[in-house]
Amino acid sequence: MPKMSLQEISDRLEIQDLFARYSFAIDERDWDALDDIFTSDARIDYSETGGAKGSPAEIKQWLPRALERFPAFQHLVATTKLEIDGDRATSKTILFNPMVHEDQQGNRQTFFIGLWYRDVLLRTEDGWRIAERHEVMSWIKDAPAMEPVPEL
């Protein structure tokens, strides 16, 4: 493999930071932080895992309702396969997502999900942003019976 240029090293670090900021925004329920993660016209698709598909504005409206039955969760992004081509990049990233579900009686159950994020990223005037995010289900362990996820 050829040596990385300083620009590629910088790009990779900025994208890694972008993915970490996404995880913290979701885990801290800081929906407005998503404005600095996605392009304004991004396409976000969580439908394969039972979620919504829409624009950042639509997803920001949907997330609080979809995640209200989960008092705790962690989005742990790991290994990323990243291809950078100028101001555009594509990636596939592992996500390990332990979640705590609380039912209507207050009973809690922890379960685990393994996902992939498949992204298209763009370099903007404000740094790298996610222009497309597709969440791909890999596996799930110990999932409780749950009500369907709310619609957009």
**What is the Rg, in whole angstroms, of the alpha carbon atoms belonging to the chain?**
16
What ranges in 28-94 are assigned the alpha helix state H? 56-67
Instruction: Give the pLDDT of residue 140.
Output: 96
Classify residue 69 by its DSSP letter. Answer: T
Instruction: Give the pLDDT of residue 12.
Output: 97
Instruction: Give the pLDDT of residue 24.
Output: 98
Q: Class of 6-141 per CATH? A: alpha beta
Instruction: Give the pLDDT of residue 107.
Output: 94
CA–CA dist 97, 44 (Å, integer): 18
Show me where the domains of the chain are located: 6-141
CA–CA dist 102, 108 (Å, integer): 4
Instruction: Give the pLDDT of residue 1.
Output: 65
Find all residues with CB under 8 Å of 48, minimum gap 6, and list them. Answer: 134, 135, 136, 137
Successive 10-residue mean pLDDT values, the chain, 152 residues = 89 98 98 98 95 96 95 96 97 98 94 97 98 97 90 86
Instruction: Give the pLDDT of residue 2.
Output: 78
- Choose among 113, 110, 104: nearest CA to 135: 113
Instruction: Give the pLDDT of residue 150.
Output: 86
Helix H or strand E encompassing 8: helix 6-27
- Choose among 35, 57, 32, 62: nearest CA to 46: 62
Cβ atoms < 10 Å from Cβ of 105: 5
